[in-house]
Amino acid sequence: MSLCNPNPSGFRLSAVLHLREGERDKMAHALARLENNLSSINHRLESISDERNNLQKLIRQSRIGRIPIEKLLDQHRYETHLDESEDLLRREKASLLEQFRTQRQKLVDANLELKKIEQLAARARALQVSQDLRREQKAIDDYSVMTSWKQKSNQMTGVNDQ
C-alpha cells in the first residue's frame, strides 16, 4: 500500500475477512461438538443393545424350570425401560443429525464466503499495487522529463552565454 494514498477498502476487507474467519471457526467448533454428541449417543445406543442382548439371554435361561412372577415383571420393566431409553436416544439422534446437516451447510457457506472475500482482497491488493506502480512510473517519467528539460535549458543557456 502506498503511504501517500492509503487504501481504506483494504483495511475493511481484512477486518471483514478476520471477522468471517472467527465466525467460521465458531461454526466448525459447534459442528465438532455436535459430532461428539452424536458419537456419544451412538455409544449409548450400542450399550442399550448390549444390555438388551444380555437381558434376552437371561430371559431364555430363566425359562427353564419354575419362573417367579416378580422376576418376570422385573425383566419386563427393565425391557420397557430399555425401549423407552432407546426411543428417546433415537429421537435425540435424529434431532442432532438435522442440526449437524444444517451446521455443516452453514460451514460450507461460510467457507465459500471466505473464499470470495479473500479473492476480493487479492484483487484490491493487486489493484493497489498496480496503482502504486503507475504513480511511481509517472513520478519517474516526470523526473526524467524535468531533468531532460533542465539539461536542454542548461545547454541552451550555455550556448547563449558563449
- With respect to residue 53, please indicate whether it lies within any of the assigned structural domains: yes
- With respect to residue 2, please indicate whether it lies within any of the assigned structural domains: no
Domain holding 19, by residue range, is 8-123
Average pLDDT over residues 72-77: 88
Neighbours of 81 (CB within 10 A): 12
Structural domain tally of the chain?
Answer: 1
Share of the chain above pLDDT 90, in %: 62
* Cα–Cα dist 154/148, whole Å: 10
Separation of first and last alpha carbons in the chain: 50
- With respect to residue 151, please indicate whether it lies within any of the assigned structural domains: no
- Residue 6 pLDDT exceeds 90: no
Residue whose C-alpha cell reads 444380555 in the numeric block: 54
What does the pLDDT read at residue 91? 97
- With respect to residue 161, please indicate whether it lies within any of the assigned structural domains: no
What does the pLDDT read at residue 141? 92
* Cα–Cα dist 49/54, whole Å: 9
Q: Which of 42-46, 71-75, 96-100, 145-149 has the least mean pLDDT? A: 71-75
